[in-house]
A and B are shown apart, each in its own frame.
Chain A
Amino acid sequence: MGKLYVSRRSLLKGSAAAGVAIAAPTIFTSRAWASDFTNKPTGSSVTLGFNVPQSGVYADEGADQLRALQLAVEHLNGEGDGGMMNTFSSKALKGNGILGKKVEFVTGDTQTKTDAARASARSMIEKDGAIMITGGSSSGPAVAVQALCQEAGVIFMAGLTHANDTTGKDRRRNGFRHFFNSYMSGAALAPVLKNAYGADRKAYYLTADYNWGYTTEQAISQATEGVGWETVNKVLTPLGAGDFSSYIAPVLKSGADVLVLVHYGGDMVNSLTNAVQFGLRDAQANGKNFEIVVPLYSRLMAKGAGDNVKGIFGSTNWHWSLPDDGSKAFTKSFGTKYGFPPSQAAHTVYCQAILYADAVERSGSFHPCGVVEALEDFKFDGLGNGPTLYRADDHQCFKDVLVVRGKEKPESEFDLLEIVEKTPAKQVTYPHDHPQFAGGELGTCNAGTA
């Protein structure tokens, strides 16, 4: 009638180091192997936890992620048109749930805060028995929840998180990232920028004053310096500043001829609007046209900034206008259900849900360590990004990166970005111990309570 839940680790430690530490009394350890891992599904269904921002600055993206995840659940359970499951290169999924168990889900609100994200993930794991957590639209919560999932012994399939740290210094064995990262943005953007604007450019950075801002600024500046650009100045701006005029004003007098806005979401909308209002786009500096660059683009941001994004370069993980079968299938089934095309945030979590389910099918068990093994060095195709590798060394996906530009003549409110170049995966690949990613260790997989 009673059941002890003790993590396997502490048992191993307890028995191995009984003489050193005061080990857990034997009464606590006697029935430790009742089940294999945290939240092992026992009934006819399996519960996934969708932890997305439902309030706060990224609420729009969270809502889009939730739509995509609901769609993924439908497809996994064999409802709807199957979406990207039909184009996915692995055919392990049969449309009868995962391992024959019907997929159910619970949702939580990250509020884009580390504490809130962790609290809602914990309650999904402890109360609702979620076996996998996915979603999220910011790197802070992603890193926090990834660490939590490692401790609890469930799988974390990161949502939209672009900072290097997620698969860099904060990487974890139980966590996986499908989304691209700051380094890849830099590596993809730099050659395109060089072709468009020349090698002799002076860049000025306005950087959001938090973790993602730092890693992205570093990645972009190192990459552009690699093609001959010079960095004039780097200025940190507070998150959610609202008005960036005071930061924009000194840019023209600084001698720079490119402004890089390392901002995301509402901040990017505001800073770009300010910059355009200050006439930066029509200005001349050093005898050249003044240019603006936005490292990480999303359709939702482009929509917010309106006409101001026209002609501005940036990078993105995926765009619904891609012509491959996977993208078309996904856009079609998302559009049929909701009436508009999906965003990159929606795409990445949809892929993550399918990838997780597929890994469970292939490994034949929900055991997190089996899932980790199945995902490591897994090569796949047909999910909209071309051939993709889930690298074992850091659990980062390597795939083509899109360089996009704000469209001059948009045909609809969703048709705001045009794809300039598809940078091949080879060009954005880096060694897993690259300085920008150094200091992290995956550790070993944790299956949690025994």
Chain B
Amino acid sequence: MNHIISPLDLSVEELDKLLDLANDIERDPEKYAHACEGKRLASLFYEPSTRTRLSFEAAMMNLGGKVLGFSEQGSSSATKGESVADTIRVVSCYAHIAAIRHPKEGAALVASMASQIPVINAGDGGHQHPTQTLTDLLTIRSMKGRLDNLTIGLCGDLRFGRTVHSLIEALVRYDNVNFILISPEELRVPSYIREGVLQKNNVSYREVVRLEEALPDLDLLYMTRVQRERFFNENDYVRMKDFYILDEIKMKLAGPDMLVLHPLPRVNEISVEVDKDPRAAYFKQAQYGVYVRMALILTLLNLA
């Protein structure tokens, strides 16, 4: 049984194959329009999500498959106290593949351990979000033409921002990738990323507080939102949320080829005036998210 719980569940070779398939889907979506006929995706979303859930559902529908599930914890049996393991055992009888988002870290791993069908982690708390990473990798590879020899700035909430953790873990496997970690002191990357991933793999990185300091050196700027739901204390959230705002003035400090990515939703960390800048790639990134999820569903169902 194949599951995708962490971006590292795919080897570099498997990842290349998956991204090639996604690019082929982008070129000729019609070729895949009936590939999942008769298959069902269980979309198990224990916390609110618009983009990821709709992206998974659109991906399955684009492949000719069907979708069932729930979109918030309140409409699942979790309110009756059902465990994640029991839920997935039951869902295994109804669907061929499942995408699960849960506020608790490690929930998707627990689901995969009990499941009879492939499980895709669609985000587990502040921990991992592998399909966002696959989206990011596809966007970078498609728009920059490579995944190696890059200097990447990660900006915002690097402590609770799971997309950032997953992206770092995936990119350290490529040659000559350098990171500039841009965050306030309180939102720096957690120890398991700094020690367990960056230092362990001898990856070059530096931590800075000012975005302006990093911008001239970047091939890619990955902005993130400071997420209210990750804070226990409202005051901390309010203090942090406007720390970084990317606007036209700051964009002038960046090189002509620097891409701006964002996992979305954006609140105010990227001014809307930046949207028309040709370096803004975040809406294109959302489109790549559908292609890569289509490729992942096909691969996990052995239909590729």
- A and B pair up: no
